[in-house]
Structure 1
Amino acid sequence: MSKRRKELPVVGWRELVHLPELGLHEVPAKIDTGARTSSLHGQVVEEFERDGEKYVRFSVEFPEQKVRQICEAVHVDIRGITSSNGEKQRRYVIKSPLRIGDLEFRAEISLADRSDMKFPMLIGRSSLRRRFVVDSGHSWLQTDGREAVKGHKP
């Protein structure tokens, strides 16, 4: 293993993450190196422009955490993204600061209907690359998420 890799923080297969610009904190997220793009459970309400820049307004709802709110973010693109069941979907992609543990960085995040998923957020390999090493045998290595996800089955 290279020296550089040893210096990277280690994440487990699930972590609590923060999206500070969106006002979302302690969001349970699954770490998924098989997915390229990170995704967030969100439903687009409208597109609009502010100061010549494209934005998207969307709603997020995490019933287990009793969170429901409207968020706004810079709208980067609409892309064809292959879902976990292999279907290609057209999704809005936003760019927003994402914090995992003590590390905060700007990440591209697709907005998807994750209501049937166990985690409202998925962290893909583009967000992990050159920032973290994944230990799939452990959970909550950057944050203690046991209390935040009571009732969640691993």
Structure 2
Amino acid sequence: MKTFDHLSVIGLREWIGLPELGISQVMAKVDSGAKTSALHASDIETFERDGKTWVRFTAHTGTRAKLRGKRCEAELVDFKRIKSSNGHIQERRVIRTPLVLGDRCWLVEFTLTCRKDMRYRVLLGCTAMLDGQLVINPGTRFVQDKPQTSQFPQG
């Protein structure tokens, strides 16, 4: 049997941090069936800064019962056509920002989309898992410690 010594194990739910967006902790749903990661965002607007296109948005990190929003800015890196779980195709704005999971940090692309009807405000897709060298133990949740974003750059 092969072993995966260099890979970190995660559960189906994990706490992550997005330090450049000023988000120290948010619960993420791990979804190996989704290629791209997604962040619940509203009030999305584009603007120019230093000749580049940026987006300003409200990132939602709370629960449906306890709403919390944070105004964020990030450089726009792409537009992607995404087929949502209900089969609808949407064109979404894409940002790239550092993600902290446990004691590790790496760049992850997130599409900005409305996830207000979803239980989790962040979806961690398989591209982020591959880039972070992660494997999922589907019988577990919250395997990694809560992120310590103070050791990484803040936005």
TM range (shorter): 0.7 to 0.9
What do the CA deviations read for 1:33-72 (whole angstroms, capped 9, x no partner)?
Answer: 0000000000243111211221100112234365211100
1 CA distance for matches of 2:102 and 2:87? 31
Matches within 5 A, 1:1-154: 1-3=1-3, 5-64=4-63, 66-129=67-130, 131-143=133-145
Question: Runs of at least 4 residues of structure 1 off by over 4 A?
Answer: none
Backbone CA RMSD of aligned residues = 1.7
Normalised by the length of structure 1, the TM-score is 0.87
Q: Does the CA contact (< 8 Å) of 1:41 and 1:112 recur in 2? A: yes
Aligned residues: 144
Q: Provide closer, same or farther for how the CA distance between residues 50 and 136 of structure 1 changes in structure 2, counting only shifts above 3 A.
A: same
Find the aligned partners of 1:66 and 1:25 in 2 and give their Cα distance: 16
Q: Identity of aligned pairs, percent? A: 40
Q: What runs of 5+ residues in structure 2 fail to find an aligned partner? A: 148-155
Q: Show structure 1 runs of 5+ residues with no match.
A: 146-154
CA contact (8 A) 1:44 1:56 kept: no
Other structure's SS at 2:5 match: helix
Other structure's SS at 1:6 match: coil
Letter in 2 for 1:90: E
How far apart, in 1, do the equivalents of 2:40 and 2:61 lie? 8
Q: Structure 2 length as normaliser, TM-score?
A: 0.86
Matched residue type, 1:32: D
CA distance in 2, matches of 1:50, 1:109: 20
